[in-house]
Amino acid sequence: AKDYELRQYETAKWVSTVIKGETQKEAMRQGFWKLFHYIQGKNEREMKIDMTVPVTCLVKSGCTDFKISFFVPFEHQDCPPQPTDSDVFIEERKAAALFVRSFGGFASPEKYAEEADALARTLRNRGQPFHEDFFYTAGYDSPFKLFNRHNEVWYFKK
């Protein structure tokens, strides 16, 4: 469809942290830095790991806990170094079909919510079953990139 795509993702490992009781913007900031320290060597092997994209944030309806995640690079998928920060963990996300809506610009929590609402409306109108109680935000750009920015919202297909 022109306003969304259906993607199939394979099983993969992500490094994640959950920030509780903050605004989404503050949770993203805190979570990003916890994960950034992990890839800078705050792990059992004191190994530097390349930064990957996207950076995702799990947003659940009516919940103030946000799970921020970095994709573990392909060369570390089999055996990622364990985090030394007890708030950071490796998770395996199972293969899944995702409905994805892309948009540009600097994404705020409000903009992500607006795009997620638009995607949910479109999916409902087209009779596409999806998990409505949560969505992921996905950011692909450094904060220093000013033009041609790429952001996404993801809903899991039922």
Question: What's the pLDDT tens digit per position in 107-145?
Answer: 999 999 999 999 999 999 999 999 999 999 999 998 889
Helix or strand run (H / E) with residue 134: strand 134-139
d(CA 123, CA 21): 30
Task: Return the residue matching tokens 């309806």.
Answer: 61
Give me the mean pLDDT over the 15-23 stretch.
Answer: 96
Q: Answer yes or no: is pLDDT of 2 > 90.
A: no
CATH of 5-156 given 3.90.1150.10, 1.10.760.10, 3.20.80.10, 3.40.50.20:
3.20.80.10
Give me the pLDDT at residue 18, please.
98
**157 pLDDT band (50/70/90 cuts)?**
very high
d(CA 29, CA 22): 10
Question: What's the pLDDT tens digit per position in 38-93?
Answer: 999 999 999 999 999 999 999 999 999 999 999 999 999 999 999 999 999 999 99
Q: What is the DSSP letter of 98?
A: E
> Rounded to whole angstroms, what are the CA distances from 81 to 30, 55, 103?
21, 19, 33
Give me the pLDDT at residue 113, please.
97
Residue type, 80: P
Return mean pLDDT, the chain.
Answer: 96
Q: Answer yes or no: is pLDDT of 1 > 80.
A: no
